[in-house]
Structure 1
Amino acid sequence: MTRPPPHAVRRRLAMAVLIGVVGYVVVDIVLQALPPHYSPIREAESKLAVGPFGWIMNLNFLGRAVFTFCAIGAIGLTGPASPARRAGLLLLAIGGVSLGILAFFPTDVGPTGVSATGVSASAENGLQPVTTAGFVHLAVASLGFLAALAGECVLTRWLRHSPELAAVRVSALVFAGLAGGGLLGIVVTSALAPDWLGLAERLCLLGILGWVFVVSLAIRRVGEPGRPEPCGWPDEAVRNSR
């Protein structure tokens, strides 16, 4: 059986990422509208995995882990290899593994309604865990966010040396900056304004997912008419002559 050429594998992986990102966002939106109707402004995304439809969010976490590794594969087949690319892909892999772990360790959820219960918003969002699963979830989620952001920042610098993806560098930089701002917002809101933690987390997610989407879209388009071929790959005529 003939193995598909690298550019075909790369395009398929990139397409899987594009479909995965859209699917992940759609599932998030649908779950947000279902009971128990968590607030996207106040409450962390992880709470969507707690409740009658929590199993769907756990599958969503696993799906995101899968398309993260698809993105790693697509990037690994594009542009020049370098220590920066290897480091960035390793960090993304840590983020992907973290997502898989989250599906099996639900966050701690305190009772809602601060005025009625006296429970702080931080406790409601699992930032003050009391169970082993809650501690694992908070630690792994924090590691995942940091690793994903660091990986995207490293790879954004690497894009300067990849002629095929140079055009997407500005967009990647914008989304990496948005993710960084959102992560800083998570730190600030968790300490000073926990009622806004959900919004800060979703801004960070928008940056992380947006980065993966625009880079994968650019990878998908590499080799189209008017766009450069991947560095080091023989063109079609050379391949056919072998």
Structure 2
Amino acid sequence: MAGVAVYILVDVVLQLLPPHYSVFSDAESNLAVGPFGWIMNLNFLGRAVTTLCAIAAINRVAPVSRLRDTGVVLMFLGGLCSAVLAFFPADVDTGSTGTATVIGTVHLCVAALGFLAALAGIIVLTRWIRLGPELAKAFPGALAFAAIAAFGLASLGMTTLMWPSLLGLAERICLAGILGWVMVVCADIRRLNPRG
């Protein structure tokens, strides 16, 4: 839960530092390019660690099932992709030629895979939560945040093709859904295990 809060805080602070990228049109990954880019790269690594912590917490909750295991593997893949992003910076300005670099292309592919894996993981895990009694209180919030993440990812695909000026907003909606899901589920797990 602390990892989610730190990730959001760092994102907000970086948004205020130069270069001033647009929250609406620029991808979050652009924050990793520029004089303070190293901070965003650490934040990507922090999101990966946060994902691992969430997985460890989820693995402490019954029932053990294929559904839970599948969701955890997908979440792990999403977290791993976040870590990889720290080493492959995005192409912020490809110039008038519109030519992307190999590193920037890797970044886009890994980011897309990470979003898809994280969303698939939280959808599967939301289904797992629905079937088990332990996290019943988390289910409404988990379902709502999974829907927000799905809407954000669908919007991200549409903005890429039709409204590129809203790409950053769509990406942040997807991230809000994913991070919100982690916060709600981990808060309920903490309720079950108040000592950690």
Shorter-chain TM-score tier: over 0.9
- Could you tell me whether the CA contact under 8 Å between 1:31 and 1:53 is conserved in 2? yes
Counterpart of 1:68? 51
Does 2:131 correspond to 1:161?
yes
| C-alpha contact 1:156 1:169 (8 A) present in aligned 2 | yes
Matched, 1:22 2:5: yes
SS at match of 1:77: coil
Where does structure 2 lack aligned partners over 5 or more consecutive residues?
none
Q: TM-score, normalised by structure 2?
A: 0.96
Superposition deviation, residue 223 in structure 1: 4.7
Mapping for residues 88-167 of structure 1, pairs under 5 Å: 88-110=71-93, 130-167=100-137
Which amino acid in structure 2 is aligned with residue 161 of structure 1? L
State TM-score, norm by structure 1. Answer: 0.78
Alignment partner, residue 236 of structure 1: none
The question of 1:209 aligning with 2:179 is answered yes
| Shift, 1:161, TM fit | 2.5
Structure whose CA Rg is larger: 1
Provide the C-alpha distance between the structure 2 equivalents of 1:131 and 1:160, rounded to a whole number of angstroms. Answer: 43
| Aligned residue among 7, 10, 14 for 1:31 | 14
Q: In 2, distance between residues paired with 1:200 and 1:64? A: 19
Q: Which of 157, 164, 183 is the aligned partner of 1:187?
A: 157
Q: For 2:129, what is the secondary structure of its paired residue? A: helix
Aligned equivalents of 2:47, 2:39: Cα separation in 1: 12
- Identity, % of aligned positions: 57
Cα distance in 1 for partners of 2:96, 2:91 equals 16
- Mapped contact 1:61–1:103 kept (Cα < 8 A): yes
Which letter maps to 2:6?
A: G
RMSD: 1.4
Aligned counterparts of 2:193 and 2:40: Cα–Cα separation in 1: 36
In the alignment, residue 44 of structure 1 is paired with which amino acid? A
In 2, the alpha carbon distance for the partners of 1:118 and 1:194 equals: 16
Indicate how the Cα distance of structure 1 residues 184 and 140 shifts in structure 2: closer, same or farther if over 3 A, else same. Answer: same
**Cα pair distance change 1:223/1:31, threshold 3 Å:** closer
Counterpart pick for 2:191 among 209, 221, 225? 221
Instruction: Number of aligned residue pairs: give it.
Output: 194
Cα distance in 1, alignment partners of residues 112 and 175 from structure 2: 13
- Give structure 1 stretches of 5+ with no counterpart: 1-17, 112-116, 124-128, 225-242
Q: Does the CA contact (< 8 Å) of 1:80 and 1:161 recur in 2?
A: no
